[in-house]
Copies of this chain bind each other. A is one copy, B any other.
Amino acid sequence: MRRYLPILDWAARYTPAALAGDLLAAVIVTIMLIPQSLAYALLAGLPAEVGLYASIAPLLLYAVFGTSRTLAVGPVAVVSLMTAAAVAPLAAQGTPEYLGAAIALATLSGLMLLAMGLLRLGFFANFISHPVISGFITASGILIAAGQVPQILGFSARGETLPEIAQALLSRLGETNSAALILGLVVMLFLFWTRSRLKPWLVRLGLADRSAGALSRAAPIASVAVTIAAVKLGGLDLPVVGDIPRGLPRPSLPPFDPALWQAILLPALLITLVGYVETISVAQTLAAKRRQRIDPDQELVALGAANLGAAVSGGFPVTGGFARSVVNFDAGAETPAAGAFTAIGMALAAFLLTPLLADLPKATLAATIIVAVLSLVDTGALGRTFHYSRSDFAAMLTTILVTLLLGVEAGISAGVILSLALHLWRSSRPHVAVVGQVPGTEHFRNVERHHVVTAPEVLSIRIDESLYFPNARFLEDRLLAETADNPGLHHVVLICTAVNVIDSSALETLEALNARLRDSGVRLHLSEVKGPVMDRLGRSPFLDGLSGQVFLTQFDAMMALAPDLTRTTRAAQRGETAKARAAR
């Protein structure tokens, strides 16, 4: 029970000190989350209030099911962009169908996360390698920032790819609203400045480090308040968010439309995987700092519940936010209750602040987004990866280029497929060494690296990998080629020291190899087979049909198959030792 409801664990031992820490953290995160949630809803192509809704129920549910003490869930930039990319082809922005598709996306993603958690399928996230996710997040950051430029210029223009955005931007450059442009640039400069300089400045003014940090987190909400005031009092004429319904969302159900669900299947899977990978990486970083432990499978359950909560309360897919969780941690959050208090803060905002937000300039939110996402862009990673591994670099560059030019779904898919293909390629060519005997010993080493002796009628080959389907064909090709090239060959010995598994494909390959070698007059032997592998081979008819023998050690094999060689090298060794002795 406690495994699935971590709240039972921490709630029983809740202390006043934890309450104080959680409350302070909740206030700071709420202040940070209000502008972000509005901005990311607009980024997803949804009405601004949906962002507030997606920051209430999911946070409460994560507090019940989550194992991380400090993770802050809610709408995040990359997943909002992926939501827009998934939903835009299905319905026109602003229609109930568009919102319905976003809700369906949250539902499906929630169900997938839940299923992965309960069936312990979290390993699926391993499909996405680090270079792919890093490249994807960099490219998404660039796409998001570019997509906000029209808002700064005072008009709306959407695009799923960099060329689309550029075209939309250029064709409507004449519509630039100078009030929006000036306000947007000022907010951006202010936010960039507060990001890097405000905290040290406040500390120099005499504030405590922690209060200075908390105050500098309030910069985005301060921009929101100031620009609302500027519009109201200054009578600026620029695009604003407009009227927002007051209060809490009404519970909703996702639309039932099989065609819709089929269309969002792949996007939902990609959102699920990307969201999970990001969440788990933040949660583990923070947990390790306090030597706490998170349960990756239970995190899937918690994120699933959070997304189902988002769906029912009319929101869109949510996940763990990086910056937000770090702020929560730094502000002293002790338990997931901090998240629940943040949810209460967001609910209060939905009641009290919504009337004020009608005059909020969209350019302010666009500036907030641009400043937030540019920290996601890590172009240095390209150079570092190039330096370290060319194949990882290829996967990263492909992900970035395809994401920018063809969109997020194509980008992450291309990256995943390419990195899997490269992985399979690597595992399909394991290291294989032809070995010979180190003269006068029972040791066998690679003929290319050591001075060893071999018998022309025996080929001893060591494979440094388990035998399974990605490399079964390689072994077959290699051994048949060796046999065709050596007419004097009568025995092949496969040394299995490094073979932990032989799967059915490899077993069939061995059976075929055995038959093919027998047809050409060569016997196949095995040596140094591990116990569990031998047990399993015993359950198949392979050993009965084996043309050769299974030797306990490679030395036994050579003693039996090429006794002269062993004797000769021993004699030579003795001779040399005698010579050496005589020389002394």
Contact = CB atoms under 8 A, between A and B. Distances in A.
B419 A469 contact: yes
B392 A503 contact: yes
A469 B129 contact: yes
A468 interface: yes
15 contacts: A123-B424, A123-B425, A123-B473, A127-B424, A128-B469, A129-B469, A129-B505, A130-B469, A130-B472, A288-B483, A288-B515, A293-B480, A293-B485, A392-B503, A420-B424
A464 B500 contact: yes
Contacts of A379: none
A427 interface: yes
A391 B509 CA distance: 18
A36 to B, nearest CB: 25
Contacts of A431: 500
Contact of A469 (B423, B425, B539): B423
Contacts of A536: 388-389
A209 to B, nearest CB: 19
A234 to B, nearest CB: 48
A175 interface: no
A484 B291 contact: yes
Contacts of A424: 123, 126-127, 420
Interface string A513-545: 001110110000000000000001001100000
A291 B487 contact: yes
Contacts of A130: 469, 472, 504-505, 508-509
Contacts of A2: none
Given A281-B512, A391-B503, 19 more contacts: A123-B474, A126-B469, A128-B469, A129-B503, A130-B469, A287-B480, A288-B483, A288-B515, A291-B483, A291-B484, A293-B480, A293-B481, A296-B473, A387-B539, A388-B504, A388-B507, A388-B536, A389-B503, A389-B504
A356 interface: no
A476 B129 contact: no
Contacts of A464: 500
A568 interface: no
B480 A284 contact: yes
Interface string A450-479: 000000000000001000111111101100
A426 B506 CA distance: 15
Contacts of A487: 291
Closest 9 CB pairs of A and B: A288-B516, A129-B469, A130-B505, A392-B504, A293-B484, A291-B520, A289-B519, A123-B428, A129-B505
Interface in A337-394: 384-385, 387-389, 391-392
A184 interface: no
